[in-house]
Amino acid sequence: MSETQTQINYIDWPKEIKKIMFVIVMEHEANDLISLINLKRDETTLNNPFLEGYTCEYNNKQVILVKPPIDPVYKVQSVSTEPASLCVYAAIKKYNPDIVISAGTSGGVKRKENPDLHLKIKDIVVAQSIQFFTRTIIIKDWEGYVAGKQYNLLNPKPLHQILALKPVIIGTDNSFTNDNTHAIEQGIDCIEMEAAAELRVCHLLNVPFTAIKIISDVEMDDPTERETLFKDFFVHGIKNLSIKLKEFLDDIDKIANW
């Protein structure tokens, strides 16, 4: 892969942000924010198989939360990259937001190479880069494309400095496993299932994009302790994400003008 293909393109935050769109795939992640800032279901998205929208006014800004609806065949929440791509595309066409933030949970990867990062459960992080990390291709021309890390990403520094979010390298995959081999090989800090796909859509539609994720669990020597902490996180920890997203909204003008 050439250097040009791996370079990350940070873009500046728009100076004036009036419409903020969150993409949150999982219901339990979305529901906290919906109650916290009183988002209301947008009835024009009822029965749309790709887009479930919620909107509200908050501090004189329009806030939009979108998620892909429940899959009608399998009756599960529509995790993974294709539903996320379609949801973000349909949502941008409908709401025309100034920025898009992918929010949700993410698994933390324990890597010897990043001992300073020390990711812990409940840490809240911001994307310093996003890529697919398990895709491979035998044709050289497509190598950069299948990783897809070169699309425009909002500069993570304002969120690091103003909201104390840890900048991390996010890896997206359509599998959810306990095996972190590929992630470690690729230098990935956290793993989730949508961000790289959403990033491409936002780049192609010229909408500034970042991802804010909360760490749901980190690989541990004791799998029983890990399981206990993971379950506890979903009861007591996950609300910290929506609290931080509310802080983000409170500080949005400061962030935009950082």
Q: How far is the CB of 31 from its own copies (least distance, A)?
A: 18
Strands (E), 179-221: 190-192, 209-218
Contact with its own copies (CB under 8 A) among 13, 54, 132, 248 = 132
How buried is residue 131: exposed, middle or buried, by Cβ count under 10 Å (0-12/13-18/19+)? buried
Q: For residue 91, what are its two tokens?
A: 């949502």
Nearer to its own copies, 63 or 90 (CB): 90
Q: Does the protein bind its own copies through residue 243 (CB under 8 A)?
A: no
β-pairing, 190-192 with 166-172? parallel
The residues in 159-188 that bind its own copies, with binding defined as CB under 8 A, are 174-178
One-letter amino acid of 248: F
Contact with its own copies (CB under 8 A) among 3, 15, 76, 113 = 76
Contact with its own copies (CB under 8 A) among 102, 105, 128, 150 = 150
Q: Does the protein bind its own copies through residue 91 (CB under 8 A)?
A: no
Dist CA 37 CA 109 (whole Å): 31
Q: Are 47 and 38 in contact (CB under 8 A)?
A: no
Dist CA 201 CA 8 (whole Å): 16
Q: Does the protein bind its own copies through residue 2 (CB under 8 A)?
A: no
Contact with its own copies (CB under 8 A) among 22, 95, 133, 151 = 151
Q: How far is the CB of 67 from its own copies (least distance, A)?
A: 15
The residues, any chain, with a CB within 8 Å of residue 222's CB and separated by 6 or more, are: none
Where along the sequence are the contacts to its own copies (CB under 8 A)? 5, 49-50, 71-74, 76, 78-82, 85-86, 89-90, 132, 134-139, 141-142, 144-146, 150-151, 174-178, 197, 200-201, 203-205
